[in-house]
Amino acid sequence: MGHWEVVMFILALEILPTLTHVPIAPLPFKCPHGSPKTRTDVGTYCGRRETVIWPGKRTTQVDIYYGIRYAQPPTGSLRFKKPVPPIPKPDQIFNANAKPDACYQYIDTLFQNSAGARMWQPNTPLSEDCLFLNIWVPILPPAQKCAKDQKLPVMVWIFGGSFYSGSSVLDVYDGRFLSTRQDVIVVTLNYRLGPFGFLYLNNSWVPGNMGLWDQRLAIKWVKDHIEKFNGDSSRITLFGESAGAVSVSAHLISPWSHGFFTNAILQSGSVFSYWGVEAPKKQLIQSKRLVEMVGCGGRSGRDLHACLQLKSPESFIEAQDHLIDPNVFFSIPFPPVLDGHFLPYRNSQSFAELGYLKPSGAVMIGMNANEGSYFLLYTLVSNTSFAENIETLPVATHEEYFKALHKVLDIEHDRRPDLMEPLAIYTDFEYKNYSEPDNAQTWTRMLEEISSDRGFKCPTIDFAQALVNRNRGPRNRLSLRSVTPRTYFYEFVHRTENLPWPKWTHTMHGYEIEYVFGIPFSPVFAEKFYRFGDAERELSDRMMTYWANFARTGDPNVLANGKNIPSSESPPTASREASPWVSSHSVDASTCLPHHLPMRHWQEFDERTEAFLILDTEQMTTGAHPRSRQCLFWRRWFPIMMQQAERLSGICPSMT
């Protein structure tokens, strides 16, 4: 080897190790042949086409786009800040084939062996880089070619989970069945949870309500780009359940969101729920406690934000876990806050009057028959024999019943036992049926009704009443009292036959969702969790039709072919054997629209009738003035009793 060759060889040995540290740009993603591809002005998205198999072996197809980024990763300097849109990359192809990571969250393991609990657990890894949305686009068959030039209505789902858990890609939120059965585009979205989404320090570094701002940015992304996916940007309906319903109602009353959607569906929740929003003073105290727990106390402003940036995400989740009070019924450590900005309300009166309500659109709102039983499972498990065998009734003695009742009533977290006792006695008197025996069944029934009414049913009903009562009183430039949205109310009463929870829980909180999404038709869900019967598939088909009708027109009675469900007292019924889904599904080629099951007319909820539809596998019925006596008790009489008890105990009434 010559001199120069030796020199070059030595230089190569010295340089070679450094080359391994040179970053290599990833190769451009290439969309596989045959995969759906949608071009927008922020990038091109490559999804996947999948086939949906229905009863009778009929098939439909859907294009699925998982993990479309709608915001920059909320990490580093963007942690606890409002979301920032991603940089547009119109020439880049993005892989939209993989389900996105779930946002960092608390993982509950109390009933980890139960399919009923596992179905709500994240099914993808946890990450702070989680601000993605997912889209299901139905592929119209040849018989419906005439509809290909028509833009499809869009339904944007906001999941629940107490604002500290959940994911947009749970199996129960699979949008393929609702999308292809009803020819609608379904969108689900992630948003930051727990302290990442709702820590509040009342400054620009940690402004609060980051999770709501996430949702707003995702909804805006849909508004701006859904036309490219064959969606109609003028027909966007938000729908959500529990904390998701609170979120939907927040967008209804926040001027920051009004221009991005048309109609709204609230399932089992509203901003009137005592757990749904928090006063700024209380949220600030709670947030400062967490700041101390993660080791950033004594700092402020930029220094505090810099300290919070350095902490691991696990440290925030661990601190939050300590802030969940096991002695309180339905403890949510970080809900949205009345910040005066996203929620521009500074006093309870303007909030109660929905002063900044969206000035157009329609609202569907409803509840389940036994909302409270799901939370009794978790609230009571720590102090009864129920922990060993959940098939037993949760309260075995009168003493246990009153102890549990104290929990359900103590939403302030800090009331004295001597103060709670008269309130518990008064509430017990209101709900007691003296023709019933004084036993475990009666106590369980009363606890469930009390927790359902106070936590879910009455706040939901109150919100509906506030919507339809807006013409009362003088008009105001801000309150827009002249605007009364068309409102529809429901109660879901069916308990899934194979639900893996004890029988006493009945129609639990959250278990209407599977019917809205068409999950009774999902073989994947059946294999992982539990199965459904033919009557339940029929119920799901009807509910999907109502929800999609509402998304199309703002009226659940207007079918896809433009015809109205007749408003007769006894609508025609069909045998299960004649059901289009149990036997076969056909399409009317002349109208390019699917046939539908017989439906009952859904009467509008108004100030006079307060009519509502009862959703069940049996023939659907109607009702009026839901829970009127009970909600009057919680709205008017219980606060008076609480003030009297506080006065007698020498405690100043709490101000929220």
Residue 309 belongs to domain with CATH number: 3.40.50.1820
In a domain? residue 200: yes
User: How do beta strands 132-139 and 93-95 pair?
Assistant: unpaired
Q: CA 647, CA 500: separation in Å to the nearest integer?
A: 46
Average pLDDT over residues 78-90: 97
Residue 50 identity (one-letter amino acid): E
> Comparing 655 with 287, which gets the higher pLDDT?
287
Q: What is the DSSP string of 347-415?
A: SHHHHHTTTT--SS-EEEEEEETBTTHHHHHHHSGGGSGGGT-TTS-S--SHHHHHHHHHHHH-TTS--
In a domain? residue 119: yes
Domain limits at 76? 60-376+455-545
pLDDT at 578: 34
Can you give the C-alpha Rg of the chain in angstroms? 26
**% of the chain surpassing 90 pLDDT:** 66
Average pLDDT over residues 410-431: 78
pLDDT at 237: 99
Per-residue pLDDT reduced to its tens digit, 209-259: 999 999 999 999 999 999 999 999 999 999 999 999 999 999 999 999 999
Q: CA 525, CA 170: separation in Å to the nearest integer?
A: 10
In a domain? residue 569: no
pLDDT at 582: 32
CB 130 within 8 A of CB 215: no
Q: Taking Cα atoms as reference points, which of 297, 106, 278 lies closest to residue 198?
A: 278
pLDDT beyond 80 at 478: no
Domain count, the chain: 1
Average pLDDT over residues 252-279: 96
Q: Which residues of 437-472 are buried (b: 16+ CB within 10 A; e: fewer)?
A: eeebebbbbbbbbbbbbbbbbbbbbbbbbbbbebee
pLDDT at 67: 98
pLDDT at 476: 43
In a domain? residue 216: yes
Q: CA 643, CA 647: separation in Å to the nearest integer?
A: 6
Per-residue pLDDT reduced to its tens digit, 125-161: 999 999 999 999 999 876 565 455 589 999 999 999 9
The token pair at 188 is 């689900």
Per-residue pLDDT reduced to its tens digit, 376-409: 887 765 544 454 566 667 776 888 888 888 888 8
Per-residue pLDDT reduced to its tens digit, 165-177: 999 999 999 999 9
* CA atoms in the 13 A half-sphere facing the CB of 18: 5
The token pair at 312 is 């691991």
pLDDT at 108: 85
In a domain? residue 155: yes
In a domain? residue 177: yes
Q: Taking Cα atoms as reference points, which of 424, 493, 495, 494 lies closest to residue 454?
A: 424
Q: Which residue has the tokens 């319903």?
A: 245
In a domain? residue 424: no
Q: For residue 438, give the DSSP letter.
A: S
pLDDT beyond 80 at 308: yes
Average pLDDT over residues 66-90: 97
pLDDT at 420: 80
**Partners of residue 257 on adjacent β-strands:** none
Residue 315 identity (one-letter amino acid): S
- Rounded to the nearest integer, the mean pLDDT of the chain is 86
Q: CA 46, CA 38: separation in Å to the nearest integer?
A: 7
pLDDT at 599: 84
Q: Taking Cα atoms as reference points, which of 68, 52, 147 lies closest to residue 594?
A: 147
Average pLDDT over residues 359-368: 95
pLDDT beyond 70 at 521: yes
pLDDT beyond 50 at 581: no
In a domain? residue 17: no
Cα distance between the two ends of the chain: 86
Catalytic site residues?
242, 371, 509
Provide the pLDDT confidence category of residue 588 given band limits of 50, 70 and 90: very low
CB 218 within 8 A of CB 133: yes
User: How do beta strands 263-267 and 362-368 pair?
Assistant: parallel
Average pLDDT over residues 570-587: 36
Per-residue pLDDT reduced to its tens digit, 606-634: 999 999 999 999 889 999 999 999 999 99
Distance of alpha carbon 170 from its chain centroid, rounded? 12
User: How do beta strands 59-69 and 93-95 pair?
Assistant: unpaired
pLDDT at 480: 41
pLDDT at 25: 47
**% of the chain surpassing 70 pLDDT:** 82
Total count of residues recorded for the chain: 656
pLDDT beyond 60 at 475: no
Average pLDDT over residues 205-212: 97
Cα–Cα distances (Å) from 431 to 277, 447, 541, 642, in that order, read 27, 9, 36, 17
Q: CA 82, CA 191: separation in Å to the nearest integer?
A: 11
Provide the pLDDT confidence category of residue 570 given band limits of 50, 70 and 90: very low
